[in-house]
Amino acid sequence: MANVLVIAELFEGKVRKGSLSAITFAQQAAPMVGGGYDILVAGTGAKAAAASMTGYGAESVLVADLPDYVAEVYAPVVAGAGKGYKIVCATATTFGKDLMPQVAEHLKAGMASDVVKVVQEGGPTYVRPMYAGNVLAHVKVKTPIQVVTVRQTEFEAAAPGGGASPVKDAPAAPATAAAARVKVAGFEKVVSARPELTDARVIVSGGRGLKSGENFKIIEALADLLHGAVGATRAAVDAGFAPNDLQVGQTGKIVAPQLYIAVGLSGALQHLAGMKGSKVIVAINKDPEAPIFSVADYGLVADLFQAVPALTEQIKKVL
Ligand X SMILES: Cc1cc2nc3c(=O)[nH]c(=O)nc-3n(C[C@H](O)[C@H](O)[C@H](O)COP(=O)(O)OP(=O)(O)OC[C@H]3O[C@@H](n4cnc5c(N)ncnc54)[C@H](O)[C@@H]3O)c2cc1C
Give the footprint of ligand X on residues 173-232 (CB under 6 A): 207-209
Q: Is 287 in the site for ligand X (CB under 6 A)?
A: yes
Q: Is 290 in the site for ligand X (CB under 6 A)?
A: yes
Which is closer to ligand X, CB of 43 or CB of 249? 249
Q: Is 310 in the site for other proteins (CB under 8 A)?
A: yes
Instruction: For residue 166, give the nearest of 59, 56, 42, 64 by alpha carbon.
Output: 59
Instruction: For residue 115, give the nearest of 136, 100, 131 by alpha carbon.
Output: 136
Q: Is 162 in the site for other proteins (CB under 8 A)?
A: no
Separation of alpha carbons 127 and 112, rounded Å: 9
Of residues 278 through 297, those in contact with other proteins by CB under 8 A are 279-282, 288, 293-297
Q: Is 236 in the site for ligand X (CB under 6 A)?
A: yes
Of residues 246 through 275, those in contact with other proteins by CB under 8 A are 250-251, 258-259, 268-270
239 — phi, psi (to 5°)? -80, -5
HSE of 97 in the Cβ direction (CA atoms, 13 Å)?
A: 11
Instruction: For residue 6, give the nearest of 247, 29, 171 by alpha carbon.
Output: 29
Q: Is 238 helix (H, G, I), strand (E, B) or coil?
A: helix
Which is closer to ligand X, CB of 121 or CB of 303? 303
Q: Is 62 in the site for ligand X (CB under 6 A)?
A: no
Separation of alpha carbons 286 and 307, rounded Å: 10
Q: Is 35 in the site for other proteins (CB under 8 A)?
A: no
Residues forming contacts to ligand X in the complex (CB under 6 A) are: 207-209, 233-236, 247-252, 264-266, 268, 270-271, 274, 285-287, 290, 303-305
